[in-house]
Structure 1
């Protein structure tokens, strides 16, 4: 099993998207990339902790490749807007790939470069690619939020 961590705006929809992929064994929403230990949702939403809302994924690399997860990540949000996804504004909604190994970093940079050169996006991809920092699991009511409410998606 390997881990992957992505920030692509509000974590509810992002989690539901990845949760349904073959090869993904578990998901958890939380916070990463900021300065405050054990932040609360309210603190992260204040845009003063430096944390991004993220989904941490446990996946079987024999069933789904990391590069496939990256493609799903980039295809399901706007990676050209800094600190914004749809109506959600703030650094907590930034586009981010938090890598768990040098291999993941290499693959993430390669896929990002390929996408940028493809012409798919008219503006530069602003997704940050950084080593994973401590993951702080969000409050339980955020876990599988859409699934618990019988919803398949929300805006991304």
Structure 2
């Protein structure tokens, strides 16, 4: 008996909530049914992710890596890395793609791709499995958009 009552209550809840997905509008004596549009906002369609990003990313053997990443309108990128307290600088170029909120950097000379999560005016570095870096320094794995 309780099982039947529970099933009936669940069915009534689903029917009563389902009416919000469609709205009926009367126009000039006719009725139109319009469905609610799904939210299609993501970094690819909503954020202005092109431009220059800068930050100091953590490093295991020096105080950090000054990083400058430029995303160009033609789908190319330029990455400049300068190791603090060392005489080491590296430049990398390649192509990038953005799918939803995932930015993928693919080096033109081969090597492993790098991943970033696109956020409002910043990029958050992800690990090789496309997951956010965790731990005490997790907040330091971001690059801020500049006005350059």
What TM-score, normalized by structure 2, do the two folds share?
A: 0.28
Structure showing greater relative contact order (alpha-carbon pairs closer than 8 Å, 6 or more residues apart):
1
Structure with bigger strand share is 2
Instruction: Flag the structure with higher helix content.
Output: 1
